[in-house]
Structure 1
């Protein structure tokens, strides 16, 4: 089908470019005929190219119920000892020094 359209467009372009006896005395008519023939051939070729591409059809929408919410989580917190950091001084044999020690109640 494409080859037929291209052949018809080329034949129309050639026929439009050739002067006829009625246009023998018209100056500039050949240019106008060439422009009109080019526009017609471009429209035919463009239409053939535009229709030759494969089509994409979007699939139909699917409606699905949302999933149920998850059950509430039970969080068990064990009450442990409360810890904090203290500075303690100690004698290292040469002098007093300090260090951080974690103390839990």
Structure 2
């Protein structure tokens, strides 16, 4: 949304600067004042829309939880198989 709005503002600014405005006359019926007022109101609306945007969400890690170890665990045990020492994993329960 922000990128779209920024692109729209950029295109509008460039188009407005390229538009050719006729020279103002003394008896134009307040057209310049209406243009200035319209620009101020439009700027206030766009500025309010941009400034009122919500901040990005904040992600917080959950609180640590105590987890009790299982009553059984795997342990490496060294044994002689007749040719040499080897290791095997056995389950030990307390």
The higher-RCO structure (CA 8 Å, 6+ apart) is 1
TM-score tier by shorter-chain length is 0.3 to 0.5
Which structure would you say has the larger Rg?
1
TM-score by length of 2: 0.35
TM-score by length of 1: 0.32
